[in-house]
Structures are given as C-alpha cells and as structure tokens.
C-alpha cells in the first residue's frame, strides 16, 4: 500500500468529510422542512401538462455509435499514456507502435462521423 | 495460507460466481455480466502472481492490460449485439433465440 | 399590543438557523476527527507547523473550505457578471457593499428549509443517493490539485490519471439521476449529458498527453515544477485550447450547456430535483469547476511559478481565480449549440487537433527543440 | 491484523458480484457490476499495481459500466413476472442433493484450507462427494422435464460453480509449497513501459486492429438499426 506521507489517509478523511457534510445537508430538510404530499405535487413535471402515456419510454439511439467509439478510444488512450510517459526518455524501441495504433483507429472515427452527420437531428 | 494463496482464492471465488451466472442465467445481459466477472477474475489472478513472485512486474502488467483492453472490445461488441437483438425481437432471452432451429 | 414586524421574525429565524448550522458543522468535526480536546491539543502542539499540517490542508487551504469559498464566489460572480453583461443589476441587497455578496447564503438557508419533493414512481434510493454521490465525486478531484509542492493533500504518482478517473465517474451518477427521476425530460437530458461527457473525455485525455510527454511524469507536482522556464501553454498551445474547450464541455458550461438546456428541456436531468438535492448538484458542479481550473493551471499555465515577490501558492490562487472568471464569463457571451453540432465538433475537430498537437510535439522532439524547454 | 483490508475488499467485491447476477432489477445489477469493477481495482491498489488499478477504473468503471448501464436502461426491465415453479417430488430430491453437495464441497474446502488432508473423514468425503454430485446432476436432468424452471437452472449453476471453486482450491492448497514473495514493490512505470512498448509493441498493433474491427462492427450494427427507423 501507499506510504503515509503521500496523504492517502487525508484523502480518506476528505472523502468522509464530503460524504458526511452532504448527508448533513440531505438530513436538514427531513428535520425542519414541511412534508405535505399531494397527488398533483408528486406528478411528473412536464412543463405544466399532465404527462401522457408511459413514463419510461424508450428513446432512439442515434448517437449510440459514439459511445461505443468512446470505449475503444478510452482503451487506446491508456496505451498512449504509457507511451507519453516514456516519450522523453531517449531511444525507446517501441516508439512507433502507439502512433500506428492511432492511425488504425482513424477509419472507424471517420466512418462514425460520416454516419451521424447523416442524422442531423435529435 | 500465504498472501498469494489468498488472492488466488479470491480470484477463484469470482470465477466461480461468474460460472454460476453463465450456467443459471437466461438473460443475455446477465450472461454478459458473468463473462465480465470471469475475465476480471482472470486478470486478478495474473496480477496476484505478478505481485507475489520475484519476476518482472512489467510483463504481467502488460498481459493484464491486454486482457482489460480485449474485454472492453468484447463488451462493446456484445452490447451492440444485445441491443440489436432487442431491436429485432424485443427480448434478450438467450433461450428464446432459436429461430435457426429446424 | 403591537404586532411584531415579520422582518424581525425573519432576522431571529436566520440567526437561530445560523447557530444551528454552525452547531451542526461543529458536531460534524467533533464526530469525524475525534474528541474536541485531542483536536485542540493536536492543533496547538506546534503553532509554527499549523499551516502545513495535513489536517489544515485537508480542511482549510487546498481542501474543503477553500474550494467551497471559491465555488461560492464563482456562483456570486457568475450571477453578477451575467447580469452586468445583460444590462441587469443582479443580486444587490443582501450583504451590503459589493452588491449582494451574501445573496447565496440567504439562498442556501432558504433551500435548507424547503420541502424535498419526491415524485411518484421514482426509484427512491437512487433518486436520493445520486446527488450525494455527485457531491462527493465532484469534490474528490480537489484533493489532487497541488497549490505548491507543499500544499497538496494527496500526492499521487499517477495524479493526472486519478483526476480523470474521478471525472469519468460523473456520467454514471448523472445517468442514474436522470433515469431514476422517471421523467422524459430528465432522461433525455441525462442521455445528452452522457453523450457529451463521454465524447469530450477523449479530447480531454488527448490534450493532457502533452504535459505528460513534456515532463515524463504523471505527478502533478512534477508537471508544475517543470514549468519553471516555459509554461506549457507556449509549448503546446493547441493542446491547451483543446483542453480548455473539452473542460467547458465536461463542466456543462455555457456553449455546451446542452444537458440542462432550460429553453428546450425544462432543466435537463435536473428537472425533478428540488431543494437540497438540487443544491448538492450545484455545489458539485461548482466545486468541480474549481478543481478543473486548478488542473488547467497546473498542466498548462505554469502552476505556482510566477514572479518573485509573491509565494507560489498565491500565484496559483490568482491564476485559478482568473481561469474561473473566464469559465463563468462564457455564460454571458456564448449561445448554446445543438447536440449534433456538439458531437461533431468533439469528434471531428477537437480530436484531430489534439492529435496534431501531439504530432507537432513529436516533431519538435525529433528536431531536438524540446531539450531547450526542459 | 494483516488480512483485514483485503478481506474487507473481498467481502465488498464478492457481494457486488453476487448482487450483479441476483438483483431483481437489471439497473441495480448493472450498478453492482460497476461496484464489482471498483472492488477489483481496489485489489490492484492493494497489490501496488497502480497503473493497472487506474486502467481498470478508467476503462471498466468509467466506460464499460456506463455503457452497460446505458444499454440496460434502453432495454428496460423485463415486464413479465416469472411464476415461481412448484417443486415436485423429484425436484425436491434434486434440491436436497444439491444442498448436500454444497455442504460436502464446503467441508472439503475447509479441510483443504486447514491442511487436514490425511484425515479419514476427508477420505470418505473425497469418495462420497462425487457420487452425490453425480446423483444431483442426474436427478436435475430427470426432474421437471417439461417445465423451464428457474430453480433448475439455478441448481445447475450452484453445482457447476462449486465444482469449479473446489477444483481451484484443490490446486491452490497444493500451491502452498510455492513461497509467496513478500518483498515490497515500489511503484515503477518504467518496467511496464519497457515491456509494453518494446516486447509487446506488435501486439499493441494487433490489438489496435481488433479494436478498430470491434468499433466498425458495433457502429455498423448501430447504423443498421438507424436505417430501419
């Protein structure tokens, strides 16, 4: 594990402090605020209208492709970070491969961009 | 029981949980979950061996990183398949994907 | 018998509420850190060491109090600045001289005593816990930003990456918040936010590659120290621009204010939230902004390196304040763009630009120019 | 106590893994899966493999679990309520045998952890438990042939998982002779960079091709669905 001087314990203290203060904020209105239930108040808000139809409807997935691309690029960037780390040290043999990795990933990027340009609406 | 054994036992436990899911679940999403759990168990196994044997840490870490990357690609393709299947048929039950059966 | 004027009642009420609030904070400190006596003896065992004590760092200077204070000033400044640009007055009365600087305290007290409305058919545990986790996840990156080599809470060897880890948790919380609200606006808003944050993480990471390449380290302290000669914004200007743009998108600040687009989607993924949970989301957003401004300063604007007559922490604070000012001023100047425009800009402009910047750096390295910078 | 932290992480992670598979709502399952990935990265932190932990967090918690959650929300909850099947005579016997087998396997694990292998009880169990397991399998196959009952699948799952786990534990208990290298490891990315970029450089390229293929495939699937609309 880490040594103490890196401050991992203080990180934990910070996280606990943030959590507890957030909880405190959440608890306050439970104690002080009024709680009056009514049917209209608890209705889903749709800009004044009563919501028609089912609430959890399914939406179209126009930009889903970008999410998949994001996953692939995320992995790639993690390799690039290792490469960037050893960038400044001279004469690394495998200098080229991550750059080639990026080159390989450009065609899917163009493909996806073209594809979603065809759908210019949300 | 030393530390190496503890971590391998932990990874075996996760592997077993994943096997349980593979055998017992019918929803394709849950099966994807089980596959992810199994892959993660494998990577924990390799990481434990890397840490508790006096060899080069770099190689084992590289292998684990490759495992994670492959699993990510697998998850992307798998989810695309699941969503596509859902679009076509409205359900993701693997037992009911039997259109090819004669 | 004269009727008590309501104003007096309000004042008493505010006083009592403040006392209760402070008592709660004291109780919090008491519970977390331990018995009060031992805290006091811990604090005063060596007064000279107090300012560099890790507890002081965690709670006061780069920690919670400082971040909260800057976030507070940012909220006030944003309201005031936008009002000035749009020829309004903005907050004016509360707090006297610098127009309405206590307005947010009044708002906070008001919100604390408002009813939390939980709509029907929501997923209650997620609906209530999501703002809490958003608050914690939004506050956590503050830990990593160094204000000088001594003023840092967690000196992590992979600091840049850990910062991005905390960032990448945010879409998860936000997707859950939108889904659990059981509202169409919320879910559309959270989907948009997800697309936006996921898409702009890629150029953000790619732009952050440049400082790592230039220093060969992931430690934020190393990166800040390496800019003693030249700030990295001069070495890799394209990366800095890309990083700042992606930062605006990650913070959902104005040209990329799509998830909350209040003229299209009521309030986006925040539609069903009211009272304290809403407050927590806003806190999270602004504290995240402070952390991001700090990261931008450390990565590109030279960190704590300044001129001689001020200590480094002050330079850092000034730069962070300036960056925060620039970020909040975008609200007044820019219109909102559409989601498809946003995604296309992210994937087809920013990513190639970031890659171009990396290519330029590689070229400079091969030419041997970068050795002069280091 | 030395094992306190890893045992806590183990408890959290295995709880999350079980909840990911067993929670009734798919969304809660996806959240638990995210928790499982988080717990695994805590393991990596504990093992001082920092880059691995960060990689796990960024790719799994930050990307994969977000994607899974998104997909689960799009798919939505299964609307139908599965009627709980009643146990007939054979089914009851099968369940009993599964329980018995699970108890046997648990005892086996306990003994092999405590290194009581020479005990006669252990010998008896070693011969009896495969028979019990086999019987359980047979009865599960015969029982309730027409009905696709959830319990039957669950019983299969528990049997298979415990068999796999028992096998692993058997191997691990023989592994006890391998000394565990307890020396401290300082964080060092140079090893990783050298090995990843020099030795496995070409593999990175192959991985890139695979990732590109996956991206093409996934995007093409998404595209086909767009055209239908």
Check C212 against A57: CB less than 8 A apart.
no
For residue C300, report the phi and psi dihedrals to the nearest 5 degrees: -120, -35
Q: Out of 3.40.50.2300, 3.30.70.1060, 1.10.287.3510, 3.40.630.10, select the CATH number for domain B3-94.
A: 1.10.287.3510
Query: Structurally, how many domains does chain C consist of?
Result: 1
Contact list in D for residue B71 (CB cut-off 8 A) is 64
- The whole-angstrom distance between A85's CA and the closest CA on chain B is 14
For D73, the closest chain C residue by CA position comes to C179
Check C158 against D69: CB less than 8 A apart.
no
From B80-84, C172-176, C339-343, the region with the lowest mean pLDDT:
C339-343
Q: What is the pLDDT of residues D34-73, one digit of tens each?
A: 999 999 999 998 888 888 899 999 999 988 998 898 888 8
Check A66 against C343: CB less than 8 A apart.
yes
Residues of C (219-278) whose Cβ lies below 8 Å from D: none
**Residue C343: per-residue pLDDT:** 78
Question: What's the whole-number mean pLDDT along residues C163-187?
Answer: 85
Which residue, among D13, D133, D21, has the nearest Cα to B22 in the 3D structure? D21
Residue C30 belongs to some domain of the structure: no
Contact list in A for residue D209 (CB cut-off 8 A) is 104
DSSP 3-state assignment of A38?
coil
* Residue pair D160/B21 in contact by the 8 Å Cβ criterion: no
Nearest-angstrom CA–CA distance, D40 and D10: 9
What average pLDDT does the structure give for chain C? Answer: 81
Confidence of residue C314 (pLDDT cuts 50, 70, 90): confident
Contact list in A for residue D192 (CB cut-off 8 A) is 82
**Residue D79: per-residue pLDDT:** 53
**Residue C366: per-residue pLDDT:** 80
Confidence of residue C9 (pLDDT cuts 50, 70, 90): low
Question: What's the whole-number mean pLDDT along residues C317-326?
Answer: 89
- The whole-angstrom distance between B21's CA and the closest CA on chain A is 25
Domain ranges of chain B: 3-94
Partner residue facing B84 (CB), from D185, D203, D225: D225
Nearest-angstrom CA–CA distance, C340 and D221: 20
Partner residue facing D50 (CB), from C157, C168, C169: C157
Residue C266 belongs to some domain of the structure: yes
Contact list in C for residue A59 (CB cut-off 8 A) is 187-188, 191
Instruction: Tell me, yes or no, whether chains B and D touch by having 3 or more C-beta pairs under 8 A.
Output: yes
User: Mutate which of A71, A85, A98 to disrupt the B interface (most B C-beta within 10 Å)?
Assistant: A71
Element (H, E) at B98: none
Residue C298 belongs to some domain of the structure: yes
The chains found to touch C (3+ Cβ pairs under 8 angstroms) are A, D
**Residue D146: per-residue pLDDT:** 46
Q: Which residues pair with B27 in a beta bridge?
A: B93
Regions of chain B where pLDDT drops below 70: 1, 91, 94-102
Share of chain C above pLDDT 90, in %: 9
- The whole-angstrom distance between B90's CA and the closest CA on chain D is 8
**Residue A121: per-residue pLDDT:** 43
The chains found to touch B (3+ Cβ pairs under 8 angstroms) are A, D
Domain ranges of chain D: 4-80, 89-177
Please tell me which residue, B75 or C338, carries the higher pLDDT value. B75
Partner residue facing A111 (CB), from D189, D202, D219: D219
Contact list in D for residue B52 (CB cut-off 8 A) is 180-182
Which residue, among B58, C201, B13, A5, has the nearest Cα to D52 in the 3D structure? B58
| CA dihedral sign of residues D72, A120, A101, C251 | negative
b (16+ CB within 10 A) / e for D148-177: ebebbbbbbbbbbbbbbbbebbeebbeeee
Contact list in A for residue B79 (CB cut-off 8 A) is 68
Residues of A (56-115) whose Cβ lies below 8 Å from D: 56, 58-62, 64-65, 67-72, 74-76, 78-79, 82-83, 85-86, 92-98, 100-101, 104-105, 107-108, 111-112, 115
For A66, the closest chain D residue by CA position comes to D219
For C213, the closest chain A residue by CA position comes to A84
Report residue C312 as tokens: 């480094």
Nearest-angstrom CA–CA distance, C148 and C130: 33
What average pLDDT does the structure give for chain D? Answer: 74
User: Mutate which of D33, D152, D159 to disrupt the B interface (most B C-beta within 10 Å)?
Assistant: D33
* Residue pair D102/D50 in contact by the 8 Å Cβ criterion: no
- The whole-angstrom distance between B12's CA and the closest CA on chain D is 6
Nearest-angstrom CA–CA distance, C143 and C162: 10
Q: Which CATH number do you get for residue A33?
A: 1.20.58.1610
Nearest-angstrom CA–CA distance, D195 and C78: 49
Contact list in B for residue D61 (CB cut-off 8 A) is none
Instruction: Tell me, yes or no, whether chains D and C touch by having 3 or more C-beta pairs under 8 A.
Output: yes
Contact list in A for residue C149 (CB cut-off 8 A) is none
Cβ-based burial of B14 (10 A; exposed 0-12, middle 13-18, buried ≥19): buried
Check A66 against C199: CB less than 8 A apart.
yes
Q: What is the pLDDT of residues C222-260, one digit of tens each?
A: 888 888 888 888 888 999 999 999 998 888 777 777 666
pLDDT score of C276 more than 70: yes
Query: Structurally, how many domains does chain A consist of?
Result: 1
DSSP letter at A46?
B
DSSP 3-state assignment of C85?
helix
Q: What is the pLDDT of residues B27-54, one digit of tens each?
A: 888 889 999 999 999 999 988 888 887 7
Confidence of residue C79 (pLDDT cuts 50, 70, 90): confident
Regions of chain A where pLDDT drops below 50: 1-4, 120-122
Instruction: Tell me, yes or no, whether chains C and B touch by having 3 or more C-beta pairs under 8 A.
Output: no
Confidence of residue D95 (pLDDT cuts 50, 70, 90): low
- The whole-angstrom distance between A83's CA and the closest CA on chain C is 8
Q: What is the pLDDT of residues C102-158, one digit of tens each?
A: 777 888 888 888 878 787 777 888 888 888 999 999 889 988 899 888 888 888 888
Q: What is the pLDDT of residues D142-183, one digit of tens each?
A: 655 444 455 666 777 777 777 777 777 777 766 666 666 666
User: Mutate which of C195, C226, C268 to disrupt the A interface (most A C-beta within 10 Å)?
Assistant: C195
Partner residue facing D62 (CB), from C169, C175, C191: C169
- The whole-angstrom distance between A112's CA and the closest CA on chain C is 9
What fold, for D4-80? 1.20.120
Could you tell me the pTM of the whole model?
A: 0.85
Check A72 against B80: CB less than 8 A apart.
no
pLDDT score of D118 more than 70: no
Report residue C64 as tokens: 């919670």
Structural domain range at position C156: 49-76+117-373
Give chain A's end-to-end CA distance (angstroms, integer).
Answer: 48
For D163, the closest chain B residue by CA position comes to B16
Nearest-angstrom CA–CA distance, D75 and D80: 14
Task: Give chain B's largest Cα–Cα span.
Answer: 56
Q: Which residues pair with A46 in a beta bridge?
A: A49
**Residue C293: per-residue pLDDT:** 92
Question: What's the whole-number mean pLDDT along residues C313-318?
Answer: 85
Residue A105 belongs to some domain of the structure: yes
Confidence of residue D12 (pLDDT cuts 50, 70, 90): very high
For residue B93, report the phi and psi dihedrals to the nearest 5 degrees: -80, 125
For chain A, how many residues are written? 122
Residue A122 belongs to some domain of the structure: no
Answer left, alpha or beta for residue A38, where phi above 0 means left and psi between -120 and 50 means alpha. Answer: beta
Nearest-angstrom CA–CA distance, B2 and B95: 43
Which residue, among D67, A117, B67, has the nearest Cα to C201 in the 3D structure? D67
Rg of chain A over Cα atoms, rounded to whole angstroms, equals 25
* Residue pair C276/C267 in contact by the 8 Å Cβ criterion: no
User: Mutate which of C141, C176, C191, C340 to disrupt the D interface (most D C-beta within 10 Å)?
Assistant: C176
Please tell me which residue, C248 or C43, carries the higher pLDDT value. C248
**Residue D116: per-residue pLDDT:** 53
Q: What is the pLDDT of residues D18-29, one digit of tens each?
A: 888 888 888 889
Partner residue facing C32 (CB), from A16, A41, A113: A16
């Amino acid at each position: 594990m880490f040594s103490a001087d890196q401050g991992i314990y203080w990180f934990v203290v910070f996280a606990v402090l943030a959590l507890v203060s957030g909880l405190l904020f959440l608890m306050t209105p439970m104690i002080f605020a009024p709680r009056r239930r009514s049917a209209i108040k608890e209705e889903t808000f749709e800009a004044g209208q009563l919501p028609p139809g089912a609430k959890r409807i399914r939406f179209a997935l126009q930009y889903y492709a970008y999410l998949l691309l994001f996953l692939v690029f995320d992995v790639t960037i993690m390799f690039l970070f290792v490469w960037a780390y050893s960038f400044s040290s001279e004469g690394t043999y495998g200098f080229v491969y991550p750059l080639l990795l990026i080159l390989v990933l450009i065609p899917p990027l163009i493909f996806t961009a073209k594809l979603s340009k065809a759908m210019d609406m949300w | 029981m030393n530390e190496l054994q503890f971590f391998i036992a932990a990874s075996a436990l996760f592997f077993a949980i994943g096997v349980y899911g593979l055998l017992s679940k019918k929803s394709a999403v849950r099966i994807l979950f089980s596959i992810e759990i199994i892959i993660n168990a494998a990577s924990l196994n390799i990481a434990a061996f890397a840490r508790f044997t006096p060899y080069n840490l770099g190689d084992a870490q590289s292998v684990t990183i490759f495992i994670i990357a492959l699993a990510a690609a697998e998850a992307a393709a798998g989810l695309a398949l699941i969503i596509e299947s859902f679009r076509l048929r409205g359900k993701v039950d693997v037992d009911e994907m039997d259109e090819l059966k004669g | 018998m004269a009727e008590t004027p309501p104003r007096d009642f309000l004042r008493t009420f505010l006083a009592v509420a403040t006392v209760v609030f402070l008592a709660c904070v004291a109780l919090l400190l008491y519970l977390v850190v331990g018995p009060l006596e031992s805290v006091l003896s811990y604090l005063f065992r060596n007064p000279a060491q107090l300012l560099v004590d890790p507890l002081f760092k965690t709670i006061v200077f780069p920690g919670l109090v400082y971040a909260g204070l800057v976030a507070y000033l940012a909220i006030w400044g944003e309201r005031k600045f936008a009002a000035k640009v749009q020829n309004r007055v903005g907050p004016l009365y509360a707090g006297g001289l610098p127009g309405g600087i206590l307005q947010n305290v009044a708002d906070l007290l008001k919100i604390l005593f408002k009813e939390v409305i939980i709509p029907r058919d929501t997923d209650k545990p997620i609906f209530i816990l999501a703002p809490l986790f958003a608050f914690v996840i939004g506050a956590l990156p503050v830990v990593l930003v160094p204000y000088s080599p001594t003023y840092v809470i967690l000196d992590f060897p992979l600091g840049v990456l850990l910062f991005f880890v905390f960032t990448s948790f945010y879409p998860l919380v936000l997707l859950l918040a939108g889904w659990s609200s059981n509202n169409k606006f919320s879910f559309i808003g959270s989907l948009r936010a997800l697309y936006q944050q996921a898409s702009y993480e890629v150029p953000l990471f790619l732009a952050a590659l440049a400082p790592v390449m230039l220093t060969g380290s992931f430690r934020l302290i190393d990166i800040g120290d390496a800019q003693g000669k030249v700030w990295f914004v001069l070495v890799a200007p394209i990366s800095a621009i890309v990083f700042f743009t992606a930062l605006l998108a990650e913070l959902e600040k104005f040209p990329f204010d799509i998830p909350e687009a209040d003229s299209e989607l009521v309030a986006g993924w925040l539609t069903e939230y009211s009272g304290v949970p809403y407050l927590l989301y806003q806190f999270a957003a602004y504290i995240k902004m402070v952390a991001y401004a700090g990261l931008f300063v450390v990565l590109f604007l030279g960190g704590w390196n300044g001129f001689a007559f001020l200590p480094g922490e002050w330079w850092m604070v000034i730069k962070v304040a300036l960056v925060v000012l620039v970020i909040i001023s975008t609200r007044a100047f820019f219109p909102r763009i559409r989601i498809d425009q946003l995604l296309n800009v992210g994937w087809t402009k920013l990513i190639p630009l970031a890659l171009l910047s990396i290519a330029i750096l590689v070229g400079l390295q091969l030419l041997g120019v970068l050795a002069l910078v280091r | 106590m030395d094992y306190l932290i890893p045992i806590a992480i183990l408890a959290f992670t295995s709880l999350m893994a079980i909840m990911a598979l067993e929670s009734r709502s798919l969304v809660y399952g996806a959240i638990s899966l995210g928790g499982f990935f988080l717990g695994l990265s805590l393991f990596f932190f504990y093992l001082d493999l920092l880059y691995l932990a960060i990689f796990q967090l960024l790719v799994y918690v930050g990307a994969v679990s977000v994607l899974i959650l998104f997909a689960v929300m799009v798919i939505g909850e299964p609307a139908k309520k599965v009627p709980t099947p009643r146990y007939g005579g054979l089914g009851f016997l099968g369940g009993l045998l599964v329980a018995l087998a699970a108890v046997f396997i648990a005892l086996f694990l306990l003994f092999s952890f405590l290194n009581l292998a020479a005990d006669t009880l252990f010998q008896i169990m070693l011969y009896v438990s495969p028979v019990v397991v086999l019987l359980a399998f047979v009865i599960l196959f015969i029982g309730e042939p027409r009905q696709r009952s959830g319990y039957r699948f669950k019983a299969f799952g528990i049997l298979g998982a415990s068999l796999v786990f028992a096998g692993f534990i058997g191997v691990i208990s023989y592994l006890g002779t391998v000394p565990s290298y307890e020396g401290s490891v300082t964080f060092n990315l140079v090893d990783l960079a050298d090995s990843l970029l020099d030795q496995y450089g070409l593999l990175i390229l192959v991985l890139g091709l695979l990732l590109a293929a996956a991206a093409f495939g996934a995007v093409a699937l998404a595209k086909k669905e767009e055209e239908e609309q």
